Amino acid sequence: MKYNTIIFDLDGTLLNTLEDLTDSVNYALGKFGYPLRSIDEIRRFVGNGVKVLINLAVPNGTSAEESDKCLELYRKHYSENLQNKTRPYDGISEMLKCLKEMGIKLAVVSNKYDTAVKALCNDYFREFIEVAIGESQGVAKKPAPDSVYAALKVLGSNKEETLYVGDSDVDVHTAHNAGIKCVGVTWGFRNRDILKAEGANYIIDKPEDLLQYVK
């Protein structure tokens, strides 16, 4: 089966955002006098949206009110510093260019908040990505399939012709909940063993490996 539509996760799949995420989380934690987190801890915490990220980063027993204040501080700092160290992974831009030239329809669906998703996609991938959807109020976040369905509707694509590409267990579950085959990537925030255990249909080690699955 060859596919004509690809929906990508963003963090850990197209962009290495981990250092900027860590810096902004630690900025917020530091302002509250909380212990700082390592980059490997943040790697484990990301994937389920910003609220979950902060709830995991703050100390156990932190009140919901304090967590929300920390979250708002994180959001403000990250919105102003989201491109300090963030870069596309090696080979991503070249892969997207090849897909676009082949006529493949491309979208991003992420649990990062929507304004950040749109800003990053516009700055790095505006000539490639047709639709970029992030977390927003009133829309169930991944692994719910709602944002994937929204992307498919805008692209005019159907599930059978679509691949979802991501680096985490959340991405595998999102794809399967949407009735779409999943390609797991090993260069992101999780590892091959997790992707395999969670049921990724395909696993690739380099961006160019994705080209074999398209028409």
CA–CA dist 66, 64 (Å, integer): 6
Q: Parallel, antiparallel, or unpaired: how do β-strands 5-8 and 87-88 relate?
A: unpaired
CA–CA dist 79, 205 (Å, integer): 30
Q: Active site residue: 9, 20, 167, 171, which one? A: 9
CA–CA dist 202, 165 (Å, integer): 9
Residue 9 designated active-site: yes
Contact status, residue 150 vs residue 133, Cβ threshold 8 Å: yes
Residue with tokens 């794809």: 175
Residues with a catalytic annotation lie at 9
